[in-house]
Structure 1
Amino acid sequence: MADRIYLRHSTDKQTDARQRHALAALLAAGAPVYEDPATSSRRLSLDRAGFTRLLHEAAVGDTIRIADAARLFRSVADILALRPVLARRGLHLRVESGLLSGIDLASDDPGTKMMVSVLAAVLEFQRDMISENTREGVAAAQTAGKTLGRPTALDTGQAADVVAAYRSGTAIKALARQHHVAPKTIRRILDSARARQLPDRLHTLPRQRDPHRLDDVAGRGRSPPRSPASRWACWCTGRRRRPRVEGYRQRAIRGRICSSSPVVPTHHRPSPGTGASPVKIAFPATGTASLRQPTRVRRSAYIV
């Protein structure tokens, strides 16, 4: 049978000096130490890396030594999940200081079980009171106008200069190099000022004039409307959107689409016997076909 020491503290600003002082005799004897530094008590003991390693390395009959019961568990649910594991592995749990120093907390007798449950309930109540006092203190400090946490890297005037420079066109990385901060700090300042959000109406943004675009030359906000022959040709080719420049315009230049030819849509086709000729569609490979029924053209077609 061997003794195994377990140490834990909640935050990185705390130390385990008090626990080591209570366990000084065992440390001098060379007992192995297992630690969980900066680990919250809300995390169950079976989920902690240091205590899990202790369970894997412990043998039957070994004793787990802790300086305070709160270093291992602070809730009823934690101790109720821990005691069956210790019992199956044949391990003992003892506290080195206080009224519980002579009691094996892993024992299965009813008296120990009741005492451990009451102790865990008291420790859980103590932890909840500490959390409640902390929240009240933070709320009081915020009401008084105090700034919590570490100081900001840039003051209010520098943050306003960053926002103005970004809106004038300066890049985020350039602003970070200029103020000797990380780009994430610049993005946080811009997000707090809502400088990187798009406006609700995108058409309110000023648009730069491009003389090479047809809509800018015409002075309109959209492209010029197409002729009925162009729209009919796009429907025959299966293109709902505006054709690309290298497709529709080149075919129009070659004369494959003749806008001067009369176009009769299929849904306005004259009924048989009226003497009107149906629409003629010329396929590049199969010649001329006559559409007397409203059939969807799947292949590339051109009006002749």
Structure 2
Amino acid sequence: MSRTFAYCRVSTTEQTTENQRLEIDGLPFQVDPRRIVMESISGSVPAMERPAFRDLVKRMEEGDVLVVTKLDRLGRNAVDVRATVDMLAGFGIRVHCMALGGADLTSPAGKLTMSVIAAVAEFELDLLKERTHAGIRRAREQGKRFGRPAALTADRQRDVASLLAAGESVSSLSKRFGTSRQTIMRIRDSARDASPSPADVSYLDKAPRGAEVFKVET
């Protein structure tokens, strides 16, 4: 005997799955309350990576029916939804979506509907990519730059290095130049690496032991 299950999902920012449950209660499908699975998880998570949905699939058997209110309950995008429906169909499980008039997505008509939806989704994605690339191209032609600007210009970095050498603190300089302490510390460390240590300087001033020193008179 076939059983009917319902899966309700809301994003983590929503508060309750009760609205979906009420929609399912008003449908011609008779769903035992114990077979209504509710989950609060982001819609960006693939269907089979949602713990409650994955457990539900494990519970279901051939001949069972799964009811959802919307297609996004079955996956993160059109491709994921199609894969989920195909997987359930392979298990002999029928899938009905209320947003599509209760159509069985595993039937020939349902599969056709899924194909159309997937094609529309791909078309919209292509349009979005095209608009995005066109916008970036226009911005570059207008001389706009992308990415994070440098924290401080080269001149400002030299000013910071000089003030650090004069005894200014990292905190005071970060406030004065409107940047982070980490930026000031990186400039400080770079200045230290670039400057020879006192030991190195004294070594340069001395001739190697046993070497003769010649003075060039001009």
Q: If the TM-score is normalised by the length of the shorter chain, which range does it land in?
A: 0.5 to 0.7
Equivalent residues in 2 for 1:45-84 (5 A)?
A: 45-46=47-48, 48=49, 50=50, 52-58=51-57, 59-60=59-60, 61=64, 63-69=66-72, 72-76=75-79, 78-84=80-86
Equivalent residues in 2 for 1:1-304 (5 A)?
A: 1-7=4-10, 23=20, 25-26=22-23, 31-37=36-42, 39=44, 44-46=46-48, 48=49, 50=50, 52-58=51-57, 59-60=59-60, 61=64, 63-69=66-72, 72-76=75-79, 78-89=80-91, 91-97=93-99, 100-105=100-105, 107=106, 109-141=107-139, 143-144=141-142, 161=156, 163-166=158-161, 169=164, 174-175=170-171, 178-179=174-175, 182-184=180-182, 186=184, 196=190, 213=203, 216-218=205-207, 223=208
Give the Å deviation of 1:129.
1.6
Partners of 1:130 and 1:37 lie apart in 2 by 22
RMSD over aligned CA atoms reads: 5.0
Partners of 2:164 and 2:209 lie apart in 1 by 32
* TM-score, reference length from structure 1: 0.43
In structure 1, list runs of 5 or more residues that go unmatched.
10-14, 227-304
* TM-score, reference length from structure 2: 0.55
Q: What is the letter of the counterpart of residue 39 of structure 2?
A: Y
Partners of 1:64 and 1:176 lie apart in 2 by 62
Q: Which of the pair has more CA radius of gyration?
A: 1
In structure 2, list runs of 5 or more residues that go unmatched.
27-32, 212-218
Give the Å deviation of 1:90.
5.1
**CA, structure 1 residues 110+86, in 2 after alignment: closer, same or farther (shift >3 Å)?**
same
Q: SS state of the match for residue 103, structure 2?
A: coil
Higher RCO (CA < 8 A, seq sep 6+)? 2
Give the Å deviation of 1:110.
3.6
User: How many residue pairs are counted as aligned between the two chains?
Assistant: 190
Give the Å deviation of 1:23.
3.6
- Pick the structure with more helix per residue: 2
> Which residue of structure 2 lines up, in the alignment, with residue 267 of structure 1?
none
**CA, structure 1 residues 145+86, in 2 after alignment: closer, same or farther (shift >3 Å)?**
same
